[in-house]
Amino acid sequence: VSAHGRDLRTAVNVCRARPKVAVLTGPGAGPAELGAALAAGGAEEGRRAGAVPLGLVAQFPAPLRRVLVVASDLGTGDERVEWVTPAEAAARDWGSGVSVVLCLDESRMLGAVRTVAGPPPDPSQWALEEAEFAHRDSMITKFEVRALALARLGPRLGDLVWDVGAGSGSVAVECARLGAAVVAVEKAADGVERIRANAAAHGVDVQVVHGSAPDALAELDDPDAVFVGGGGRELPRIVAACAGRARRGVVVAMAALDRVPAVRAALTGAGLDCDGVLLQSSRLAPLPGDVTRLAATNPVFLLWGVRNPVYREGVAQ
């Protein structure tokens, strides 16, 4: 991925999502800036690199497991290759000799043997069955809802996606499987551990913030897309906070009809074009006597807001 003359955030997000990344560096986007972003958790901190800032509010409780391999003065008599942690990279002045940095997750960089070289293939399936995720008392976004939510979120390599009120983390994990860097925000301690376990089971990195939205969102990098689950009283305020920060769009899932007008107002109030559906599906279920019935799932409202180009002022591009 190239950071030369480009926004650092894309390279940072790819490094968050993938276990092996080569970053072409440039002025203002070298090892120090990349290291600070990975050590502190965001590209905004990377732009203020030089040293990891004291008193920084932790964005990601569990630091990213990364090592940077910094190649300097390649092809000259002063050529050198150094292995450093992101924090060590952030604390140094590397000068202008660096041209490439490898970012490695040493626990995952040796993948399965493959016939075709290059990036790993996209997953062959998404909107996975609920049984693919550990969850509590069926408290999980059903696969029918996830299918449409993923279509509207459009997660891809280089993106940053928030999953707010993540619960089991099923949406977060699915977005990470599709290549995005993902932050899951969850207020329940057992939910935090469940999200981490589900991410590990699917072989992806999901950074988990233990806290309540919208306060827990304040120190995070602006996302490309946001999924919001749940339906508490704070939902409109949470959606408004997410809609004001999202670069591309916000998707909200809720069961309560009463929340729909306020959520729609929060999306449109932030300048997003809003649309939505009520999803109500029935699944095949067996009956005695080798016959089948239709078993209805609970109806869920799915609203989404897409940023209109007219309203891009003040949003990082």
> Confidence class of residue 11 from pLDDT cuts 50, 70 and 90?
very high
Residue 158 has pLDDT above 70, yes or no: yes
DSSP designation for 247: S
Which pLDDT value is given to residue 40? Answer: 73
Packing angle of the helix pair 143-153, 170-177 (nearest 10 deg): 50
Average pLDDT, the chain: 88
DSSP designation for 110: S
Tokens of 28: 């203002």
Percentage of residues in the chain with pLDDT exceeding 70? 88
Extract the runs of DSSP E, i.e. beta strands, from the chain.
20-24, 67-72, 80-84, 98-104, 160-164, 181-186, 207-210, 225-228, 249-254, 272-279, 282-287, 291-296, 300-307
Span between the terminal Cα atoms of the chain, in Å? 18
* Helices within 158-315 (DSSP H only): 170-177, 189-201, 235-245, 260-269
The answer to whether 80 and 98 have CB atoms below 8 angstroms apart is no
Packing angle of the helix pair 170-177, 189-201 (nearest 10 deg): 30
Residue 58 has pLDDT above 80, yes or no: no
- The neighbour count for residue 208, using CB atoms within 10 Å, is 24
Q: Which residues contact 115 (CB under 8 A, 6 or more apart)?
A: none
Which pLDDT value is given to residue 133? Answer: 96
The more confidently predicted of residues 310 and 307 is: 307
**pLDDT tens per residue, range 160-214:** 999 999 999 999 999 999 999 999 999 999 999 999 999 999 999 999 999 999 9
- Beta-bridge partners for 281: none
Which pLDDT value is given to residue 62? Answer: 55
- The neighbour count for residue 52, using CB atoms within 10 Å, is 18
Which pLDDT value is given to residue 297? Answer: 92
The answer to whether 113 and 89 have CB atoms below 8 angstroms apart is no
Which phi-psi region, left, alpha or beta, contains residue 137 (left: φ > 0; alpha: ψ -120 to 50)? left
The contacts found for 43-49 with CB under 8 angstroms, 24 or more apart, are 43/7, 43/8, 43/9, 43/12, 43/13, 43/221, 44/221, 46/8, 46/12, 47/8, 49/90
Which pLDDT value is given to residue 48? Answer: 47
The residue to which tokens 């891809």 are assigned: 156
Which domains are seen in the chain, by residue range? 8-104 (no CATH), 130-311 (3.40.50.150)
Per-residue pLDDT, averaged over 220-243, amounts to 94
Extract the runs of DSSP E, i.e. beta strands, from 77-167.
80-84, 98-104, 160-164
C-alpha gyration radius of the chain:
21
